Amino acid sequence: MTLPLLEVRGLKTVFHDLAGAWPAVDGVDLLVHPGEILGLVGESGSGKSVTGFSLVQLIDPPGEVVSGDVLFKGEDLRSASEERLRSLRGDRIAMIFQDPLMTLNPVLSIGEQMCEAIQEHRNCSRQDALKEASRALSRVGISSPEARLKQFPHEFSGGMRQRVAIATALLNEPDLIIADEPTTALDVTIQSQILFEVQKLSRETGTAVIWITHDLAVVAELADRVAVMYAGRIVETGTVDDVLDRPRHPYTVGLLGSSAASASPGERLKQINGAAPSISARPSGCPFRPRCERALAVCEQIDPSPQILDGHGYRCHNPVPEGSAL
């Protein structure tokens, strides 16, 4: 096994308000190896986006990363200086955001917004930067890239903008890309096209990817490994085959049951009872307990600690017996 690219232990991010500090991310452990694609899955409000931003320390007040370690190639990012973080962001760790319409500056040209990602990290003339940007655009399948660079975000369709964002993330050949639901706003054909491209690029360049999504189908198609998030913590993690074919945590089972991909035609989608607890009203013990059909008395008292078996980990007192779920 190679040395991990990113190692996260006990990451905790809270949001402050007048009534106190609410944990959005509550003790997350993650491991990402070079060139690997990790799917980070969860419902909205599970803390998966906040986790993504916490990794690069891009949490603004009222949010705050309060504890845990984030080791990137062995370097602790939580104690890194702001300038060190800046030099890593966009260079070694690139991000792709959820909404491509909002994230591109409407009044700056695509060329300028791509070039700055290069020129803020290395000495490079505008000409050379534009050339690199144009290469990156053609890599994600945008035709006549030179002309496109002179255009503005509003002249691009949603899918095109997302390709621009992906191309921008690739510019400095980062070690890690954190992609936060980048295909949610796109229609299915464009989505699978982009997924295919990302997978290909990851194989070609050896870039690791953390793909944040609520969509298990996307994870099944794209990822090597999966981490399932619920109420601010990872409840199950392992290879795609392990987690999706042999889930142990009742929540993962529920997610799989409610996913359209797993249902046979004509069958009704199963739903998980109840709703995810809000950040300020987490139940005692296991946070999934109120919605869990397999809950035991102990679940009310004690928050289960992670169990790891052959790289397949889960947090549950009464896991689903192997091979019986689906």
Partner 1 sequence: MSLSKSVAPVVAANADTPLRTKVLRRIRSRPTTRGAVILLGVFVLLAVLAPLIAPQNPHDLASLSVMDNRLEPGSRGMTGITYWLGTDAQGRDMLSAILYGLRTSLLVGLLSSAGALAIGIAAGLFAAQFGGAVDAAIMRVVDFMLGFPSILIALVLLASIGRGVDKVIIAIILVQWAQYARLMRAAALVERRKEYIEAAVNFGLPTPHIMLAHLLPNSVGSVLVVTTINIAGAITLEATLSFLGVGVPVTQPSLGLLIANGFEFLLSGEYWIAAFPGIALVLLIMSLNLVGDRLRRSFNVRT
Partner 2 sequence: MTAYILQRLIQSVLVLLAVSIVVFLAVYGIGDPIELLVPPQVSAAERAAMIRRLGLDLPVWQQYLSFLGNALKGDLGRSFVHGVPAAGLILARLPATFELVLLAMSGAALIGVPLGLLAGLNPESRPSRAIMAGTILGFSLPSFWKGMMLVLLFSVALGWLPTAGRGETVSLFGIQTSLLTLDGIRHLILPALNLAIPNMALMVRLVAAGTTEAMTQDYVKYARAKGVRRKRIVGRHVLRNILIPVVTVAGMEFGSLVAFSTITETVFAWPGMGKLLIDSIYHLDRPVVVAYVMLATLLFVAVNFLVDVLYAALDPRVKLTGEMA
318: amino acid identity, one letter: N
Calpha distance 227→235 (Å, rounded): 8
End-to-end CA distance of the chain: 31
Question: Residue 89 Cβ, how far from partner 2 at the closest point, in Å?
Answer: 4
**230 binds partner 1 per the rule CB under 8 A:** no
Contact (CB, 8 A) for 199 and 172: no
Residue 144 binds which entry of partner 1, partner 2, none, CB below 5-8 Å type-dependent: none
- Binding of residue 199 to partner 2 (CB under 8 A): no
> Does 251 interact with partner 2 (rule: CB under 8 A)?
no
Residues in the chain: 326
The one among 102, 261, 298, 302 contacting partner 2 by CB under 8 A: 102
Site mask, partner 2, residues 152-181, x = CB under 8 A?
x-x-------------x-------------
> Does 88 help bind partner 2 (rule: CB under 8 A)?
yes
Determine which residue in the list 120, 128, 221, 303 makes contact with partner 2, applying CB under 8 A. Answer: 120
Which alpha helices (H) appear in the chain, and where do they start and end?
48-55, 82-88, 100-103, 110-119, 126-139, 145-149, 158-170, 188-205, 216-222, 240, 250-258, 297-301
Contact pick of 1, 3, 19, 260 for partner 1 (by CB under 8 A): 19
If phi over 0 gives left and psi between -120 and 50 gives alpha, with beta otherwise, what is residue 174? beta
Nearer CB in complex with partner 1: 58/124: 58
Q: What are the two backbone dihedrals, phi and then psi, of residue 189, each rounded to the nearest 5 degrees?
A: -65, -45
Question: Which region, judged by CB under 8 A, interacts with partner 1, from 88-96, 97-105, 126-134, 171-179?
Answer: 97-105
Nearer Cβ to partner 1 (125/278): 278
Q: Which of 90, 159, 250, 319 binds partner 2 (CB under 8 A)?
A: 90
Q: What contacts 94, CB < 8 A, 6 or more positions away? A: 168, 169, 170, 171, 172, 174, 176, 177, 178
Q: Are 63 and 14 in contact (CB under 8 A)?
A: yes
89 binds partner 2 (CB under 8 A): yes
- Per-residue x/- mask for partner 1, residues 232 to 271, rule CB under 8 A? ----------------------------------------
Cα 262 to chain centroid distance, Å, stands at 22
CB of 280 to partner 1, least distance (A): 4
Residues in contact with 143: Cβ distance below 8 Å, sequence separation at least 6, in sequence order: none
Nearest to partner 1 of 59, 115 (CB atom): 59
Cα(4)–Cα(224) distance, rounded to whole angstroms? 15
**Contact between 86 and partner 2 per CB under 8 A:** yes
Q: Which residues are near partner 1 by CB under 8 A?
A: 15, 17-19, 22, 24, 44-45, 49-50, 53, 59-60, 62-63, 97-99, 278-280
